[in-house]
Amino acid sequence: MNSTERVRNAILGKPVDRQPIYGWVYANLEEPITEKWGSVAAFEDHYEFDAAHIFGGPGVFNQKILGKIREENGEVAPDVLLEHDYYLPPQTEASFENIKKSISHHKERGRFCYVQTPGFFECFNNAFGIEDQLAWLLMYPDEMAELYRRHADWVIQCADQSIAAGADMIHISDDWGSQKDLMFSPEIWWELIFPNLKKVVDHVHSKGVFASLHSDGCVAKVLDGIAEVGFDLIHPWQENANMPYELYLEKYQDKFATLGGVCVQSALGILPQDKLEQEIRRVFATLKGKRWICCTSHFVQDHCTMEDLEFAFDLIYKLARE
């Protein structure tokens, strides 16, 4: 069983020869990992990572247009934005050469490759700012619905190019949660976000690949909706954000798989190694054999030492094979 097969089986709840493992280590720790290991790729190879999170492709918004709107209006509001051609030029195969190259590297190692695409609320924070967008959701529901509808079509184009490049899964990043609750009402989620997510995920599934969601924080109030959308996997299932694993195991493990388990907010880079070991062992005891890929809850932060990082992945490597 190679890594792609192992991850696919874990997502589907089928038997695996060992628990799949992965970690978001690149963004903040590239320099110390490269200094110690020669490259991040060497670190990934040593610990036999089973998956690869692929970034790339074109940006979303034409920043010149957004800048002009801000200069003329003092802010970017939905009704004004709809009057402009605010997206960057249409998707082209050339825009995805970096994704294709990354997938080729990881497929040589048999890894399961998932490509990140921009969600809705998270993406439009780049145009509006988070505070303004929260206000616009209440003040301009019709305009926001149209922006999100157009964005679903744009994301589908992005997904098609990523799938053509060899992606096994399309990963929609759309942060909705704070530490204790959603940042907006469940009613807004169902009205404005759900139908557009559903459209994208249905299209991805029609192409024969998986669809996954990344959303930080507590999304407990829309878990039924996430299941209804049809996501195959969610990341991170943030246990320390009012989402106990008991909830997943009792109600949702037959709906979707989880990616995560090693929290960068409360464990890795935070706890002393004896406590870190206890925490990782606890998570393995809870989730091993379930629809679970062991991974960090987000990018490992730069305050994590190489000693702690290696300690954690030495243990993860061992526990995955026991």
Query: Model-level pTM?
Result: 0.96
| Predicted local distance difference test score (pLDDT) of residue 272 | 98
Domains of the chain: 3-34+46-95+114-257+265-305 (3.20.20.210)
- List, in sequence order, every residue forming a beta bridge with 101; answer none if it has no partner: none
Answer yes or no: are the C-beta atoms of 81 and 127 closer than 8 Å. yes
| Predicted local distance difference test score (pLDDT) of residue 230 | 98
| Predicted local distance difference test score (pLDDT) of residue 108 | 97
Rounded Cα distance, 241 and 248, in Å: 13
Answer yes or no: are the C-beta atoms of 169 and 232 closer than 8 Å. yes
Rounded Cα distance, 306 and 81, in Å: 45
- Per-residue pLDDT tens over the stretch 290-320: 999 999 999 999 999 999 999 999 999 999 9
Rounded Cα distance, 258 and 212, in Å: 9
Task: Determine the distance from the C-alpha atom of residue 174 to the mean position of all C-alpha atoms in its chain, rounded to a whole number.
Answer: 8
Rounded Cα distance, 203 and 195, in Å: 12
What parts of the chain have a pLDDT lower than 50?
Answer: none
- Per-residue pLDDT tens over the stretch 180-222: 999 999 999 999 999 999 999 999 999 999 999 999 999 999 9
To which H or E segment does residue 260 belong? strand 257-262
